[in-house]
């Protein structure tokens, strides 16, 4: 496209590779970046390079960290008898943001999906099994979709015979949600998971 100058078309091309950023948005972002003061554009570029450079995965739980072991695994105030199993590291952030859980985490790095060639060996299940010493409860917090459920059932069957309490996070109508707009499967889960009021 001759009406694009080289550095601009390169930038648009790079931005358009990001998820959810189409051609038009990439173009708009690129123009915005070009109108930024040089030091602000440089700060953005540096943040990308430095995050990609420094962030790695916790040797124990698989969380994102800039250390060898993440700040949750090294926190002595956290309950080491509980492990919450999640699909990926960003799920940990969501849980932590809600401030409702004080145990440890374990990142699977995906969910079982035979169609995509992801079996138990592709997930960090071996690493989970090696951490179970002294653990009383494993909370399965994979997503409530087909793969997440299958993974939860697989882990339940694996862990239960080892005498560990295995739980699954509750699924139901979200707080602030509306029955009218809730899908059937969620309603079914909400009904199945109903609890007696006291």
Interacting residues with its own copies (CB under 8 A): 1-8, 10-11, 13-15, 17-21, 25, 27-34, 36, 38, 40-55, 64-66, 70-71, 89-90, 92-93, 96-97
Closer Cβ to its own copies, 45 or 170, answer by number: 45
Closer Cβ to its own copies, 31 or 157, answer by number: 31
- Minimum Å gap between C-beta 84 and its own copies is 13
**Six token digits for residue 147:** 């793969």
Closer Cβ to its own copies, 42 or 165, answer by number: 42
- Minimum Å gap between C-beta 191 and its own copies is 30
Closer Cβ to its own copies, 56 or 165, answer by number: 56
Q: E strands, the chain, where? A: 56-57, 64-65, 79-86, 103-107, 137-140, 165-168
- Minimum Å gap between C-beta 69 and its own copies is 12
Distance CA 137, CA 48 (A): 38
Residue with tokens 């999906």: 113
- Minimum Å gap between C-beta 148 and its own copies is 18
- Minimum Å gap between C-beta 192 and its own copies is 30
Distance CA 145, CA 110 (A): 13
Residue with tokens 């199993």: 85
Q: Which residues pair with 57 in a beta bridge?
A: 64
Task: Report how far Cα 139 is from the mean position of its chain's Cα atoms.
Answer: 15
Closer Cβ to its own copies, 17 or 126, answer by number: 17
For every residue of 138-157, DSSP letters joined together read EEE---SSHHHHHHHHHHHH
């Amino acid at each position: 496209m001759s009406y694009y100058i080289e550095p601009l078309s390169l930038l648009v091309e790079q931005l358009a590779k990001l998820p959810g950023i189409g051609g038009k948005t990439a173009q708009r972002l690129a123009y915005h970046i070009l109108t930024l003061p040089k030091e602000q554009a440089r700060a953005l570029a540096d943040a990308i390079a430095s995050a990609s450079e420094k962030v790695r995965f916790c040797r124990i739980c698989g969380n994102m960290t800039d250390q060898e072991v993440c700040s949750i695994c090294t926190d002595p105030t956290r309950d080491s008898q509980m492990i919450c199993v999640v699909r990926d590291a960003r799920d940990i952030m969501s849980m932590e943001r809600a401030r409702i859980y004080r145990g440890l985490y374990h990142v699977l790095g995906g969910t079982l999906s035979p169609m995509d060639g992801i079996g138990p060996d592709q997930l960090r299940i071996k690493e989970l099994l090696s951490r179970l010493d002294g653990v009383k409860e494993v909370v399965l917090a994979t997503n409530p979709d087909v793969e997440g459920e299958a993974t939860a059932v697989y882990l339940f069957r694996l862990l239960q015979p080892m005498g560990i309490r295995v739980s699954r996070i509750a699924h139901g109508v979200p707080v602030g949600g509306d029955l009218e707009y809730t899908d059937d499967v969620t309603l079914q889960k909400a009904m199945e998971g109903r609890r007696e009021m006291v």
